[in-house]
Amino acid sequence: MTLLAYVLVVLAVLTLAPFRFAWPTQWVVSWWGDVGDLPNNILLFVPLGFIFGLLRQRTSKRAAVLRALLFAAVAGLAIETSQLFLEARLSSLLDVIGNVSGSVLGALMCAALRVQMDRRMPGVLTLDLPLINLLYLLLPLMWLAGTGIGADRLRLWVLLPLAVTGALTLAGLWRFRLQRALRSPRLQLLLIVSAWFIAGAIVGLGIAPGTVAICATAVLLIGVAMPCLRGPYSGGERRFEARILATLWPWYLAYLLMITLDFPPRLQAPFDIVWIYPQYGYQRDFALRVVEQLGALTVLGYLIGETFGRSNAPA
């Protein structure tokens, strides 16, 4: 439930920042809105539906999808209703339809994967495999990176270390665990890595498609190369998470360094401290940066906890 709330908060910030609410002089609701935003509205709610499906482990597929539909409808209507009180924003019923469609798609994907994986390895998608949660935590950070905070396309390069961190996590889990729960391990690894990256990079695709394409290439190379370079793991399963975490730290630290140095650096203020942004006031960029920093620290704490927990575990 905490993970679901975390994703919802980031979605709300992306949609409603900088939260300049005012009583509207005229109530405006569009039936169709901007059709070009429909793919974003669908894909942003796919992880939400997937995570919601994980919370409903003992329900049938039909019930899980129906509940995901109702949940997305309530969340989408709440966001669109809030936009009625924002200047220069348009509430659209098409956005709600996109949100509901994405959530249902995510719930269906969760149900399909669970049916296949739980036959061979129950609980592999949830807390029984803690590193899976890292993939869910990285998605909102990728959305924030994809906004190109500050209208700077170069800043989308912070997406690269996040994408590689997630791809290495999936590739490591495939080697040590997931390949035994999948019917076509190598092909399905590639499909899962691709689906995860698309869900995270959709925000940045419309801003800098070239940067996103390079990040996608790196992710796909990891998805293709890992099965070829490293065959199935034949050793014991103890502490395999520690071996995966060791490959993640350099990339995640690179991400932290990039956002802390306010990448790309600004020559006129080389020693600018990015925790405080007086020049932004209460603008949208300020809100996005604050949430980005908090989200980055959340993932950092999770990585530290997992690293120390695995290193102190009995061999």
Answer yes or no: do 138 and 118 share one domain: no
CA distance 62 to 45: 18
Say yes or no: 28 and 81 in one domain: yes
Query: Contact 285/149 with Cβ under 8 angstroms?
Result: yes
Query: pLDDT tens digits for 155-165?
Result: 788 889 999 99
- 269-301 residue pLDDT tens: 444 434 344 444 446 677 778 888 888 999 999
Block residue for tokens 């999808």: 65
Same domain, 155 and 20: no
- In 3D space, the residue among 64, 169, 141 whose CA is nearest the CA of residue 109 turns out to be 64
Asked which of 71, 95, 128 is the last residue of a domain, the reply is 128
Same domain, 123 and 153: no
222 pLDDT more than 60: yes
Residues 115, 182: contact at Cβ < 8 Å? no
Cβ neighbors of 43 (< 8 A, separation 6 or more) are: 102, 198, 199, 202
Q: Are residues 36 and 63 in the same domain?
A: yes
**Residues spanned by the domain of 70:** 1-128
The total domain count for the chain is 2
Cβ–Cβ < 8 Å for 140, 202: no
Query: Of 104, 128, 152, which one is at a domain's C-terminal end?
Result: 128
Instruction: Judge if 64 and 205 occupy the same domain.
Output: no
Question: Model's pTM, two decimal places?
Answer: 0.80
Side chain identity at residue 93, one-letter code: L
Statement to judge: residues 122 and 153 lie in one domain: no
Same domain, 136 and 223: yes
Instruction: Answer yes or no: do 147 and 30 share one domain.
Output: no
Comparing 55 with 209, the larger pLDDT belongs to 209
Is 154's pLDDT higher than 60? yes
Do residue 216 and residue 310 come from a single domain? Answer: yes
Amino acid at 42: I
pLDDT band at 232 (very low <50, low <70, confident <90, very high): very low
End position of a domain, from candidates 73, 97, 128 = 128
